[in-house]
Amino acid sequence: MANNPVFMQPGVYEKTLSREWSTGVFQCTEDMESCCCGFWCYWCFTCQTADEFGELTCLPLVDMCFGGCVRPVTMSVRAVMRRRYGIQGTLCNDCVCSVFCPPCVWCQMYREMKRNVQPITFVNVNTRQR
């Protein structure tokens, strides 16, 4: 067995931002259920979406503290989602979308999560020997 020198140490994997959102911000009618829920029960919808994304359930309620102008949680969750799913965009765009139409932004994020759900596969390994 030969000793091969290591020339490059493993580093942090950086996901490339290679695609656009699967639906636009104002394409809410593509999923009428989330559209209606986002419009009629906005805070419940945002908390449910944040929870399904893996964030604290009540985190979107922090946006209420900012008087409706800047929505830091909406903007942050959108930026994290872009990075996680490899979606192109800028923090400035996230901020503008979050300020002018937060229900549409949450509906867009919900649709994106539904499209990116990976099925869970269970493997049953029988370790008993006969």
pLDDT digit string (tens) for the chain, length 130 residues: 566 665 555 555 455 657 899 898 888 888 888 889 888 999 999 999 999 998 999 999 888 887 667 889 999 999 999 999 999 999 999 999 998 889 999 999 999 999 887 655 666 666 666 5
Structure tokens at 4: 């091969």
Please give the backbone phi and psi of residue 19, each rounded to the nearest 5 degrees, phi first: -145, 170
Q: Is 25 within the bounds of a domain?
A: no
Q: Is 111 within the bounds of a domain?
A: yes
Q: Is 110 within the bounds of a domain?
A: yes
For 65, the domain range is 34-115
User: Would you say 89 and 97 are in contact if contact means Cβ atoms under 8 Å apart?
Assistant: no
> Total domain count for the chain?
1
Q: Is 107 within the bounds of a domain?
A: yes
Q: Is 104 within the bounds of a domain?
A: yes
The 3-class secondary structure across 34-57, one letter per residue, is HHHHHHHCHHHHHHHHHHHHCCCC
Cα 71 to Cα 63: distance, rounded to the nearest angstrom: 5
Structure tokens at 24: 């636009």
Can you give the pTM of this predicted structure?
0.75
